[in-house]
Structure 1
Amino acid sequence: MRYLGGLRGAGTLRCGGQVLAPADYELDGYLVPPAGVAGSGEIRTAPEVLRKVFGRRDLELVTENGRSLSFRFSDKKLAAGDDAAHIDVTGGLPEAKNWRAA
């Protein structure tokens, strides 16, 4: 496994193609042979939005530059009032050659 770098910024959270709310994100990318690029990190948005979508599988984070990242939540439970959640990115990450290590 090789660290590729980080993606951080603001974007828009979508569920089932519907825009829900703005969200901030901090993600790290890794090259994991032979699977390819994997990513994980954290998203932050309003607690009521997180409660509404937690556990769903049809989620996307659209970044400021238009990249659409599909993801799922890593944890099984969300604590009341949390405005952040850990995620695993399941699609839309840049190829390994397009990352800059931090």
Structure 2
Amino acid sequence: MNGTVASIVGQDKPRKVLRDSIRLLGRRYVEPTLAAFVCEMVAVLYDPRDLTEVHVYHEGRFVCRALSPEHLAAPALRDNQRARREAQATRHGHAHHHGGCR
């Protein structure tokens, strides 16, 4: 996620903060900050294209960004996009290429 609200398009029903995580879409999301909100209901916003992290809100206020331990070893979507842009710039003499695969 790039941090802008516009990029965070998924919103699920309110979730209860468990003792060590939030569960969403069959995944756990952890962040030490959540310890202060155990048993509280929170809103969880996420980018369905990048489920490595979610943004957590309590009573309309941003609380934290929680990460999925299952995905920490895998690169995030933005990391893949950055790497692709850098590789394309190198291959094409810094020419910016738009579009899909050829």
Q: Is TM (by shorter chain) over 0.5?
A: no
Q: Which has the larger radius of gyration?
A: 2
Give 1 or 2: higher helix fraction. Answer: 2
Structure with the larger RCO, 1 or 2 (CA within 8 Å, 6+ apart): 1
Give 1 or 2: higher strand fraction: 1
**TM-score of the two chains, using structure 1 as the length reference:** 0.32
